[in-house]
Amino acid sequence: MKSTETPHAVFISTHLDDVALSCSRCVQNNRAPTVVTVLAGAPDALVTNEWNSRTTGKDYAPDAIGVRLEEDAAAMRLLGAKAIWLGFLDKTYMSGERQDEEAIADELVAVLAAQKAETVFVPLGIVDSDHVTVGRACIKLVMRLDGPRFLFYTDQPYGTVSPKSVAARLSELHDLGVNLQEVPSVGPVDDGIRDVAFRCYATQYGPITDEFGPSYDASKEQYWQIS
């Protein structure tokens, strides 16, 4: 078994698509994986001209998120993973406020216990403010839980766009007493599955590949273990 393959693996995803973008190959190579998306909620409101409404063409937030949930369900079926969606809102629905990291951590603790997670893949939490928030919530898990083994993954394509933000986050984590070492043996690099999985997110594929271009093409899965 390679060091990123394990039964009862749970992957924490910031948005509906992040684990597909960052960990598709690893998800597919695990047995009975579960992917928990944190910011998968929708307010009961019309919210126009923000990311979810623009990309899905739906202004009523539950409809917009409904489209994105269906896309995620299809991607998870493709990867052989069970999807769990938490009801926290992404930043486009938060009017400038940030989600409460403690509340996210509390809910994740309950989910991980219910799933009997043995290995938990968490995002470094870089660049995008939602990713930073979820990354910080995940550090609380690392501090609180003795049971599961934690592995970190690089949020892609952000890590490829900004290697500096990866280095800055590693240094921040070092200051918190969490020293990360890149996992060397994740097997041959073949991101073909990432593109197939990400195409399940039909409303996101065009906007994301347009925005990130060569960085999307170049981004690879990258994992870190606590040393």
Question: Would you tell me which residues interact with Zn ion (CB under 5 A)?
Answer: 14-15, 18
Instruction: Report the alpha-carbon distance of residue 172 to residue 15 in Å, rounded.
Output: 23
Instruction: Report the alpha-carbon distance of residue 156 to residue 167 in Å, rounded.
Output: 14
Least distance (Å) between residue 7 CB and Zn ion? 27
Nearest residue (CB) to Zn ion, 18 versus 221:
18
The separation between CA 167 and the C-alpha centre of its own chain, rounded to angstroms, equals 19
Least distance (Å) between residue 53 CB and Zn ion? 17
Least distance (Å) between residue 14 CB and Zn ion? 5
Q: What does the block give as tokens for 12? A: 């924490």
* Nearest residue to Zn ion, by Cβ distance, number only: 15
Nearest residue (CB) to Zn ion, 37 versus 115:
37
Instruction: Report the alpha-carbon distance of residue 150 to residue 10 in Å, rounded.
Output: 10
Nearest residue (CB) to Zn ion, 6 versus 24:
24
Nearest residue (CB) to Zn ion, 18 versus 71:
18
Least distance (Å) between residue 166 CB and Zn ion? 15
